[in-house]
Structure 1
Amino acid sequence: CHRSGLKNSAFNLAAMLMRPENRSQIDEKYRKKIEAIVRKPQKGRGEEEEERSPCPYCGESDIVGTTLQCHKCQRQLPYCIASGRHIVSNDVTFCPECEFPALRSELTKFADDGEGCPMCGSDIKAEQLTVAGDWQAKIEAHLSD
């Protein structure tokens, strides 16, 4: 939430996670980041207006990026493992290891920062991330497995 500009949501969820009944269940490596969000809330914690993008299937609906179902064609939309937003047909790539879909522009940021895949943790290089032209067939094949 915090990375995607939903600072108010990030604060509320972080505060819930830091309650005594939930705190012991959080891995130590994430606890410090969550505590920082609760201790130092952003000034003007308002939500940024969410980006809108077309449905990757029908292309006609202008839908909020975090919506995972198109209201026009009624299809479930694949989400990006790097941003949590639905994918856009002209910017789809796949992790070379786990083959989960991502927005190439977002996953490239992870690679450039030296971070691994957010889903499987494998090291990725920006050169490995190419725009997938056959993304629909690849996703359908994974769903049928």
Structure 2
Amino acid sequence: MAGFSPRKLSFSIIFLGLMTVLGSQAALDVHYYDRTCPEAEKIIRYTVLNASMHDAKVPARILRMFFHDCFIKGCDASVLLDSTPQNQAEKDGPPNISLRAFYVIDDAKTKLESACPKTVSCADIVAIAARDVVARVNIEKPF
């Protein structure tokens, strides 16, 4: 293939991804859960912080989980699903077999279900947790 290079392919993939995100009609709202589950972000933040105090690798694992979840067909928390006898889940696929820290998301979901049942999606938990670990690292160790 004439003119093909890994750099051009990488740029094309990044450009396509950005155009998909920017062209989306969905409006994201930082305050989405303010009325329906006002403690949601606080519960997620403290769950991740507590897990991070016991395992220093949790922030990196959460960020990697978010990346793997969003990489194929969007940020839908499909990477959290367990396999069944009839279907191998994304979690157990070769690229994701080394993901860790599912227990952190499960713990946050359990706490959120107690505080405000059937309100906060698993996809939002993963996204908020990833945002928080990045913000925390940037505050603690600026480049």
Q: TM-score range by the shorter chain?
A: under 0.3
TM-score of the superposition, structure 2-length normalised?
0.25
TM-score of the superposition, structure 1-length normalised?
0.25
* Higher normalized helix content (fraction of residues): 2
Flag the structure with more relative contact order, 1 or 2, with Cα contacts below 8 A and sequence separation at least 6: 2
* Higher normalized strand content (fraction of residues): 1
